[in-house]
Each structure stands twice: as structure tokens, then as C-alpha cells.
Amino acid sequence: MSGLKELKNRIGSVKSTQKITKAKQMVAAAKLRRAQEAAEASKPYATRMANVVANLTAGMTEGAGGPKLLAGTGNDQTHLLIVMTAERGLCGGFNANTAKLARQTIQALQGDGKTVKVITVGKKGREALKGEFEDLFVDHVDMSQAKDKFTPFAIGLGKDLSKRYDDGEFDIATLIFSEFKNVLTQTPKTMQMIPATAPEDAETIDLNGAIYIYEPSEPEILEELLPRYLNTQILSAMLENAAGEQAASMTAMDNATRNAGELIDSLTLQYNRARQAQITKELIEIISGAEAL
């Protein structure tokens, strides 16, 4: 009987777990829709901003000095990595994949003799890298209170990076985050933010030999525009990361719910067999006792 009771308790425990994973799956599905809409809504602005930066950069007159955010320090010795993950787990390999890419990037830079510094955004990335690279950490952005309001965090991080860059703390800043492609696919990627570079696929205007004359000059416009472009990149990455987290969480919880169902079926079968065996044994004992009399 103790075996039957143990199986019954285990079935009840798995059923309770299944209810939790099912509820979390539904919550993640609801959050995913909002996060995906926010990520997609930000793309046109981010794309247009990249196009403007690309055109201004391409149109700069020969010998015109560019802003430091664009021109760089002339060195590439010190690299700052901004590793962006989630605050929570239960989302499959979402955080682990980003941490793995960060780990590989750090090791590659250190192998080339570069100095590496790390800013973590999200608790899970910090926990994953803490064991090996805690001495490289220079700051952490706690996103636990962000919910769906990422703009203040993006602006704050952008200002912090600009100040650190002006103070000469690093030469190149690279963002590591997870790009949201669809519900099943979130791809970790790296993106250089400082010195600012427009994406390779940014659309530039063919002037057919004509020359734009800007007032104020291109460098002055870029001086004002590049900090906004930096904030836009960070915000866009945060939105992509949030959508990817919810998609990964929904998929992981769906898999967990189905696995729990399969385990319940298997345990129920074991329970029924054990119960039938117990009943058969008791019947045999009764019949044997009756024949003995």
C-alpha cells in the first residue's frame, strides 16, 4: 500500500506542477503579444534613425572632424561589453545562449590581449558570468522594476555609456542581446554601439552628384543626433530582448506542460497496474484461505 500511496502523491504533485506551467504559459503568451507589438513598433523609427546617420556620415565633407562618438578614440585596446539578459528564468535556453555568446566574446578579446569590462543588464546574465568574470564587472542595470517601461532605463544606460566614453574608460562598446525573429527563434547577436556605426543595410540617398549643404554642419548635427541614436539602439535591443524572453518562456512552459501530461499518464498507468496487482493478491489470499477451511 505504501507504493500505491507514494505513486498517488507523486501524481498529485505533477498535476500541481502542470497547473503552474500551464498558467505561466498563458501569462507569457499574453505578455508576448504586447512585447512583440512594442518591438515591431520601434523598428521603423530605429531604421529611419540609422538611415539618417548613414546619410549624414556619407555626406560629411572631406576633412570635417566628426563627433567623438562617431570618430572613436583611435584605439581599440579597451572593450566594454553590455550583456543583456532577462531578470527571470524558466525560459529555456534564452539566457544561457546569450551568456554563452558573451563568454565566447570575452575569451576571444582576452586572447587578443584586449582589456575587457562588462556591464550586465538583467540578473540572469550576471549570475551566469559571475563565476568566471566577476572581476570584469563595472556596473549592473537592475530591470526588475522595468515591467513594460524600458525607455527610462535605455536613456539612463545611454547617458552612462556616453559619460564613461568621454571619461576614457573604454574605446569600443558592444551590445550583446537576443534578437527576436519569431516565437520559436531568438538569436543572440553582438552589435557595436560606440564608435557609432550605421547598419550595413542602412538606406542611403543617391544624390546623383549633387551636394547637400547642411546648416548647421554635418558634425554639429551628428553631435546632437548620435546620443539619441545610441539610446534608440539600446531601447530597440531591450524591446527585442523582452519579446524573445516571453516567446522562449511560452515555448518552455508549453513543453513542460506537455511533458507533465506524459508523466502523469505514465504514473497513472503504473498506479493502476500496482493497484490491480494488489487487488489480485488480496483475492488470491481470500480464495486460498476459503479453500483451506
pLDDT above 70 (res 60): no
Percent of the chain, pLDDT > 70?
88
Cα-flanking dihedrals φ and ψ of residue 77, to 5°? -80, -40
- 282 versus 242: the higher-pLDDT residue is 242
Specify which of 31-35, 99-103, 184-188, 206-210 reaches the highest per-range mean pLDDT: 99-103
3-state secondary structure 13-65: HHHHHHHHHHHHHHHHHHHHHHHHHHHHHHHHHHHHHHHHHHHHHHCCCCCCC
What number of CA atoms fall less than 13 Å from residue 171's CA on the CB side?
10
Closest CA to 192 of 225, 230, 158, 228: 230
* 10 torsion bin: left (phi>0), alpha (psi -120 to 50), beta (else): alpha
Question: For residues 130 and 140, what is the distance between their CA atoms, to the nearest angstrom?
Answer: 12
Q: Residue 212: its pLDDT value, please?
A: 60
Average pLDDT of the residues in 212-224: 70
- 115-169 pLDDT tens trace: 888 888 888 888 888 888 888 888 888 887 777 788 888 888 888 888 888 888 8
Active site residues: 91
Beta partners for residue 188, in sequence order: 178
| From the candidate CATH numbers 3.40.1380.10, 3.40.50.9100, 3.40.640.10, 3.30.360.10, the one assigned to the domain spanning 26-251 | 3.40.1380.10
Q: Backbone phi, then psi, for 213, in 5-degree steps?
A: -110, 115
Domain boundaries, the chain: 26-251
Tell me: pLDDT of 63 over 50: no
Q: How high is the pLDDT of residue 209?
A: 58
Cα–Cα distances (Å) from 291 to 121, 181, 277, 282, 288, in that order, read: 77, 73, 21, 14, 5
Alpha helices in the chain (DSSP H): 2-58, 68-71, 94-111, 123-133, 151-166, 218-292
Judge contact between 153 and 138, C-beta under 8 A.
Answer: no
In 140-206, alpha helices (H)? 151-166
Measure CA 167 to chain center: 29
What is the pTM assigned to this prediction? 0.79
In the chain, % of residues over pLDDT 90: 1
Which residue do the cell numbers 539566457 mark?
95
